[in-house]
Structure 1
Amino acid sequence: MRVLIVEDDPHIAELLRDGLTEDGYDCDLARSAAEGAELARLFPYGLLLLDVMLPEGIDAGYHLGQQLRAEGIAAPMIYLTARGTVEDRVEGLEAGGDDYLVKPFAFRELRARIRALLRRAGGNAQNALTLPHGWVMDLGGRELHRAGVRADLTRREFALLELLALHPGRAFTRDEIIERLWSGDAGVEPKVIDVYVSTVRRKTEDRLIETLRGTGYRLGRA
């Protein structure tokens, strides 16, 4: 399951990502409400963890949650904050949250709350995308398969194909792909994208990714 963590404290963000990754979740980090909104629109997350106080303001997390709910994003949402009065908890629940955890908290409590929340929300349900040539992307299980045969994609290869599959017909430049998948890491060379594309094609024995000369890449066509 893919989890979005919106937290501007680098130490807390890394602890959350490392702990949840060990539990088998596929985690993305956002440092601001704006970045969190962009990612939430881009990928089908199964869970949202939102800090309340973000660079945009002391209630930016609440505003982000309300915005995502207004846009129809229904993923389970937990607010994380140091503010623990009854009024604060009520405000969080009224701002679209499904649960509210006060900092500092024990990671095992967060883990337990996530499991309980996903049980209530039917968190084991899987989302699937049908791709050309009979391939199916299981977004919940992070797998690509066809007729019972699984393509052994790495996490980054899957993320690349997922990005294109979620935007069929749209071409992404190499720089845009780096921005989405590596958060704009300046150390990633554009030619690395060509290598990933080539590897996905080899592993699937299909041109699931189409090259547009002078532009970039998009999902292939049947």
Structure 2
Amino acid sequence: MNARIAVVEDEEALSVLLRYNLEAEGYIVDTIMRGDEADIRLKEIVPDLLILDWMLPGLSGVELCRRLRTRPETERLPIIMLTARGEESERVRGLSVGADDYVVKPFSTPELMARVRAMLRRVRPEKISTLLNAGDIDLDRETHRVRRLGREVKLGPTEFKLLEFFMQSPGRVFSREQLLDGVWGRDIYVDERTVDVHVGRLRKAINRGRQRDPIRTVRGAGYALDENFSASSKAARPGAASLASARDSLVE
């Protein structure tokens, strides 16, 4: 599982605990200590799920939640709110400003992890699926194997992560900075030119002969997995032509 989860929590011990448990389940985790900083960061990169504390310095979790629901890019962002306020009126208030779930401190960590999995399964099933497909490319997250038209493609660990990142959002254009954050992570310094090198290696590995290049370069913007690749490539899978002919003959 490679869903990105943002944790906005000002209690350092709890923030570290959450990060440890989430990363142990395979998630990419960003931790933020202040509400106002989270407001800025979430404009740059939208995670797949947000764990948000109620009481935060700079900007309260309730106000941050309200703001996120007014923005098109975060209006559907899954939000689990953490709070020491257990009264029914406070739970209602948290849900009314847009939180999807509500967990009262102190809480059971296994229960919170189960809620995270359940929410991602409901709203972003592709993030927890072990198999990804785009056109004639199949990627298995568990075995770390990639096949194109049945041929196994040998990829290095970085190229595998890069392809997986693209396949999660076909058609979306990612800047080099976004690819660095999504594939390498914020805690590692890598020059943006490194992205070009690894995209080149990925292209060399997955493209053979006259096979169509599924990775689209957008001048001045970045890279994307071509959104038209899936439809056009499926028609090129072995047997697709004969199946189409058989279907047409049945229609006639």
TM range (shorter): 0.5 to 0.7
Q: Residues 109 and 56 (structure 1 numbering): CA distance in 2 closer, same or farther, change over 3 Å?
A: same
Matched residues, number = 209
Identify which of 13, 16, 19 aligns with 2:15.
13
CA-based RMSD of the aligned residues comes to 4.3
Aligned residue number for residue 85 of structure 2: 83
Counterpart of 1:27 in structure 2 is 28
Instruction: Point out where structure 2 has 5 or more consecutive residues left out of the alignment.
Output: 33-37, 230-252
Give the Cα separation in 2 of the matches to 1:113 and 1:86: 20
When the two structures are superposed, what TM-score results if normalisation uses the length of structure 2? 0.59
* Cα distance in 2, alignment partners of residues 155 and 14 from structure 1: 26
User: What SS class does the counterpart of residue 126 from structure 1 fall into?
Assistant: helix
Counterparts of 1:17-96 in structure 2 under 5 Å? Answer: 17-23=19-25, 25-29=26-30, 31=32, 32-40=38-46, 45=48, 47-58=49-60, 59-64=62-67, 66-67=69-70, 72-73=75-76, 75=78, 77-96=79-98
1:78–1:98 CA contact under 8 A, matched in 2: yes
Q: Are positions 1:218 and 2:238 aligned together?
A: no
SS of the residue 1:188 aligns to: coil
Identical-pair percentage: 27
1:150 to 1:93, Cα distance in 2 relative to 1, 3 A: farther
User: 2:42 aligns to what SS in structure 1?
Assistant: helix
Mapped contact 1:208–1:220 kept (Cα < 8 A):
yes
Measured after TM superposition, the shift of residue 63 of structure 1 is: 1.6
The residue identity in structure 2 corresponding to 1:205 is: N
Cα deviation for residue 19 of structure 1 reads 0.6
- Structure 1 residue runs without a partner (length 5+): none
Which string of whole-angstrom CA distances, capped at 9 and with x for unpartnered residues, describes residues 20-41 of structure 1?
2222x4233152033235433x
Deviation at 1:218, TM superposition (A): 2.0
CA contact (8 A) 2:126 2:168 kept: no
Would the aligned equivalents of 2:170 and 2:225 in 1 still touch at CA under 8 Å? no
